[in-house]
Amino acid sequence: MKTTSEKIENCQIALNVEMEGSETEKYMGIALEHLARRVVLPGFRKGKAPATLVEQHIGKQAIMQEALEHLVPEAYEEALKNESILAIDQPKIELVQLDPIIFKAIVPTKPEVTPGNYRDIRMELGKKEICEDDVNQVIEQLQLQFGTLVPAERAIRFGDIVTIDIDGKRGEENILSRKDAAYEVSQGSKYPVPGFAEKIEGMSKDEEKSFEIDFSDDYEIKEIAGKKYSFNVKVNEIKEKSLPEINDDFAKNAGSENLADLREKIKQGLQARADDSLKKEFEHKLITALIEQSAIDFPPVLVEREVDHIVNEEARNFPDGVKGLENYLVNAKKNLEQHREDLKPAAADRVKAYLVTSKIAELEGIIVNDVEVDQSIEKMAGEDPGRADEVKAIFSQPRPRESLRDMMVINKAMDFLTKLVTGQDNNINTEVPDGKITT
């Protein structure tokens, strides 16, 4: 076997393999033996026909195909050793010719990452203080949720729930016909079309009204731009929400001891969500800055892997998994292959973020030991007692366990970088010659 290799772009190696005639004959013989065990010829029991007759019966092309299925993988593995190549994923193999057998493999190799001067980056972590108005807005939403509907003997106001008979047309086309339809009269509502709620505001019970709504050709919602809609509406019933008084009893219905306790819980929840949102925004900006100043080269297969991961994440939102996602895409006039192509830029960004953060973790000596991994597994199991044994079983396997460790290393690296670029921890030495964290 003759092998040659050359480094090509995106951390890949083009590996060329030419088989010797004797090697080809060896695998042709093995292939013939395999096929002979499965072939039934008249006058012979299965697998007992002479090889020469089997060869005549199935033909040399079928034998060659069988031989290639065994020859190429084994020859590829041997060629990697000959050329001292460390592959990180499966290659793309192209059969160049059959006589002699020559094939070419594009081999993905380890990414090459050179972070920029990340220790010189300075950023501020945003901060939001939750005020009384923020808490009051949540209280008002709860008040609306706990409200009850009561008949209103007056004209329709925004916020009312009405029961109406409605017939609607778009031009001459009938688009809507409902009897006793429940409708919430919300100012600015776009259902059934923008402006509908404003047209029925002020109507009274048993009143009937016809009206038209025209949309200009340059209207912002393209689906209805240049269209004319006509409606006939009869109001059957008007109801308003009777809101409960905001006091300690109200708070108890909301699961708190008293109103002060409810307000404090709401404030803490709002603060936690605000802090989490600001943290995610900060980390996105930080990762963007790290990527922009770093040299990152990697094989395309990593993007394909990440696209697979994103698709699997999306598929979990549908009861029938990937099939449900495909059906959803059909409605959006796309197929799965087009969707995968659309996902590639986001997948590439994820790959870059992982690679640069992992490299910084390596340079800074950031590690996660077995005790920390075990503690994380115990925590996850404790958060879902019903699946505790299943969670532990999953993460007892080598690959899931190492994936968890990788994720924990990334999280540690991000915590380190956050403290570094914001100056939160003055104990971090920003000029460490050997690239190790010291505190």
What is the per-residue pLDDT for 333? Answer: 84
67 and 185 co-located in one domain:
no
3-state SS track over 350-381: HHHHHHHHHHHHHHCCCCCCHHHHHHHHHHHH
**For residue 157, is it within any domain?**
yes
What is the per-residue pLDDT for 426? Answer: 55
- d(CA 76, CA 82) in angstroms, rounded, equals 10
**For residue 135, is it within any domain?**
no
What is the per-residue pLDDT for 45? Answer: 66
At 230 the three-state DSSP class reads: strand
Q: Find the domain containing 75 and state its range.
A: 2-110
363 and 301 co-located in one domain:
yes
Question: For 125-139, b where at least 16 C-beta lie within 10 A, e where not — what string?
Answer: beeeebeeebbeebb
Question: How many residues are there in the chain?
Answer: 439
**For residue 139, is it within any domain?**
no
**pLDDT 10s digits, 168-183:** 999 889 989 999 999 9
285 and 407 co-located in one domain:
yes
What is the per-residue pLDDT for 428? Answer: 56
296 and 396 co-located in one domain:
yes
Among candidate residues 68, 42, 70, the one with its CA nearest the CA of residue 56? 42
**For residue 439, is it within any domain?**
no
102 and 175 co-located in one domain:
no
What is the per-residue pLDDT for 433? Answer: 37
User: In total, how many domains does the chain have?
Assistant: 3
CA 122 from centroid of its chain's CA atoms: 30
**pLDDT 10s digits, 131-186:** 999 999 999 999 988 999 999 999 999 999 999 999 999 988 998 999 999 999 99
Boundary of a domain, candidates 193, 224, 242: 242
284 and 401 co-located in one domain:
yes
Other beta carbons within 10 angstroms of residue 15's beta carbon come to: 23
**E strands in 171-227:** 173-184, 208-214
**For residue 301, is it within any domain?**
yes
- d(CA 63, CA 31) in angstroms, rounded, equals 6
The CATH number of the domain holding residue 98 is 3.30.70.1050
**For residue 406, is it within any domain?**
yes
Identify the burial level of 163 via C-beta atoms within 10 angstroms of its C-beta, where 0-12 means exposed, 13-18 middle and 19 or more buried. Answer: middle
Planar angle of CA 386, 392, 394, nearest 5 degrees: 105
DSSP state of 400: H
Asked whether 162 and 234 are in contact (CB, 8 A), the reply is no
The CATH number of the domain holding residue 375 is 1.10.3120.10
290 and 414 co-located in one domain:
yes
Omega before residue 100 within 30° of 0, cis: yes
221 and 289 co-located in one domain:
no
40 and 158 co-located in one domain:
no
**For residue 178, is it within any domain?**
yes
**For residue 410, is it within any domain?**
yes
Identify the burial level of 53 via C-beta atoms within 10 angstroms of its C-beta, where 0-12 means exposed, 13-18 middle and 19 or more buried. Answer: middle
Asked whether 196 and 210 are in contact (CB, 8 A), the reply is no
Q: What are phi and psi of 301, to 5 degrees?
A: -60, -25
What is the per-residue pLDDT for 98? Answer: 84
Q: What are phi and psi of 210, to 5 degrees?
A: -115, 140
Query: What are the 10-residue block averages of pLDDT along the chain, 439 residues in total?
Result: 94 93 79 70 68 70 79 90 95 89 94 94 92 95 91 94 95 91 93 94 96 91 89 96 94 95 96 95 96 96 96 92 89 89 96 97 96 95 92 94 95 96 69 37
Omega before residue 192 within 30° of 0, cis: yes
Strand 295-297 to strand 112-114: parallel, antiparallel, or no bridges (unpaired)? antiparallel
Asked whether 170 and 228 are in contact (CB, 8 A), the reply is yes
Boundary of a domain, candidates 196, 227, 242: 242
The CATH number of the domain holding residue 217 is 3.10.50.40
206 and 321 co-located in one domain:
no
56 and 161 co-located in one domain:
no
